[in-house]
Chains A and B, each alone.
Chain A
């Protein structure tokens, strides 16, 4: 009773073996983190590569990147909403509506592309504000409000598109969003910048902790993470450079992920998102304006849905009546859940938007290469989603028995 808090291991041991052992014990206690989804991606890629060597070619992997950009962007917003323990069923319809707003502004009204894009994005923000505020004001579950939104915004999409039903996009700026590939030198420069920034910010953080007299993670763990990030970045750039180069849209997606990851983990707003998702009543009593957080998150989610819809439209070079329809909504929600973000709020990471989208799109893409029919595709993705939530549920049970729920 007399001693202070044990802030860390009394004698930090810096060996690789210690690190592996601590990793092993975390997993044994059900703290699986992103391991299942990373393992899943590796497995999926290995299987498809075995069945069809074309799967892992630079050209196909570049296509995979282009395919996940739209849905991945929408999923970032879904992660925010899931962290609150809420759901947004309107993201598909909103993405279509906002892409249509942009298309009408640009094509029919002659608004310059940057302004038209901004208009589409702001339309998303407005939709999110309305849905969030409505749910907060009348205490209606967001599930229902956004279900109404799913129907209503689809109607709005048809209205905005008008009688033609399809608007083709010719503007070079809008086209460039998903059709810009950087030369190899730019790709390598970006890779170098990513590695340097990652390592430098990590070192800076360690230094601050050391100065404050706090415990440090083992240097092996830190070094391993730098090497891992460096290897991933360099391999990715090498592969992309072997085809058309690093696509702009990948930088947009990764930039948004990093931005929102920092927002969630390093700011007061992000802390409140986790707090509301963990225990809304406790957050309220601590002085957090819970309604404001909810409304802000729904505004961000719809804004990101708009961005995703615009990226999808840019790739399709058109907006039509089925924009934002089909399985876009389901994939954008299934992605983060497959990635490991909890449906019950309070647990998850923005990066699951990327990993989940990679899983789903890899399966779609690989099965397309194998000319598998779409019923089989749906069955497979359904199975993967079920497996992912089962792993999550089992891990939670292990965590509870190990006291780490």
Chain B
């Protein structure tokens, strides 16, 4: 894969969105490359959630263009996003505690055995085991109810569910917010593995330690604008914090798409 051919798998161009009088996003450019982990950081109200919801197809932007695999796409709802390969894992994980892991992985996509309406449990269980072992997610059993799993295991299950249906881009909303040290490590491992499998990953996080540990690039939003774009290996935590809070006005954003910030990762 040469640097020149490399195109972002997902690219947003000039996205604006307002709610009433509030301009939530102003002319945002954003891009993710395959095999790259991008952190989306910013203070409360910076527009992170609005941007993620736009990518996930929940918010329809007022203006701007979304390109997926170099083709313009128009999304009218979350289903459109899922269909083209954008998966989102929200902070609440959206798991059913009373169902087992298999039931959750296949929720809404249960395999049945035509002509009968019966569920094909054997097929689903086998597939669940395969998917989880590809991602090296360790669980006591795929027949354990979600309620019995640890926070890290739940997060991993939710991520596995989102990527098992041919996702190419995964949006993770605060994936480590409620987790302890060991479980955070588990989830960061999983994110690295997804990157190694060639997915584009967007992580929203307040935790800069995690961001610096797992991400390749950090995009900073402030008041609805993209103010900075750091390559993690070149950036210091102080610079990022300054960009988030707006203390550092001297730094010029580097977001020329042709320069391809992710290119550094593959070069």
Contacts and interface: CB of A to CB of B under 8 A. Distances in A.
Is the contact region of chain A dominated by helix, strand, or loop, or is it mixed? loop
Contacts of B95: 279, 282
Nearest to A3: B138
Nearest to A344: B98
B123 A5 contact: no
A399 B142 CA distance: 18
Given A268-B119, A282-B95, A405-B148, A4 B129 contact: yes
Contact of A1 (B97, B119, B189): B189
A271 B109 CA distance: 11
A36 interface: no
B142 A5 contact: yes
Closest 10 CB pairs of A and B: A4-B133, A286-B108, A346-B98, A278-B96, A278-B98, A287-B108, A282-B94, A212-B122, A286-B107, A405-B147
B37 to A, nearest CB: 18
A4 B98 CA distance: 24
Interface of A: 1-8, 208-209, 211-214, 266-269, 271, 274-275, 277-279, 281-283, 285-288, 346-347, 399, 403-405
A268 B112 contact: yes
Interface residues of B, number: 40
A404 B79 contact: no
A5 B148 contact: no
Nearest to B158: A282
A403 B154 CA distance: 13
B117 A267 contact: yes
Contacts of A267: 112, 117-119
B126 interface: yes
Given A5-B139, A209-B122, A283-B107, A405 B97 contact: yes
B117 A5 contact: no
Interface in B74-133: 78-79, 92-99, 103, 107-110, 112, 117-119, 122-123, 125-126, 128-129, 132-133
Interface of B: 78-79, 92-99, 103, 107-110, 112, 117-119, 122-123, 125-126, 128-129, 132-133, 136-142, 145, 147-148, 150, 186, 189
Nearest to B94: A282
Contacts of B107: 271, 275, 282-283, 286, 288
B54 to A, nearest CB: 17
A5 B132 contact: yes
9 contacts: A1-B138, A3-B138, A6-B138, A268-B119, A274-B98, A281-B94, A286-B94, A287-B79, A403-B148
A344 B175 CA distance: 28
Contacts of B125: 212, 214
A186 to B, nearest CB: 29
Contacts of B112: 267-268
A267 B93 CA distance: 24
B165 to A, nearest CB: 11
Contact of A5 (B118, B133, B147, B189): B133
B136 A275 contact: no
Nearest to A4: B133
Contacts of A288: 107-108
B180 to A, nearest CB: 14
A156 B150 CA distance: 52
Nearest to B147: A405
Contacts of A405: 97, 147-148
Given A268-B110, A286-B107, A5 B129 contact: yes
A4 B126 CA distance: 12
Given A5-B129, A212-B122, A287-B108, A275 B96 contact: yes
A329 B187 CA distance: 49
Nearest to B186: A1
Nearest to B123: A212
Contacts of B93: 282
A403 B148 CA distance: 5
Nearest to B90: A285
Contacts of A266: 118-119
Contacts of A271: 99, 103, 107, 110, 119
Given A1-B189, A288-B108, A278 B122 contact: no
Contacts of A2: 136
Contact of B96 (A4, A7, A283, A403): A283
Contacts of A209: 122
A196 B132 CA distance: 37
B136 A1 contact: yes
Given A4-B132, A282-B94, A404 B103 contact: no
Contacts of B92: 281
A346 B79 contact: no
A274 B99 contact: yes
B122 A347 contact: no
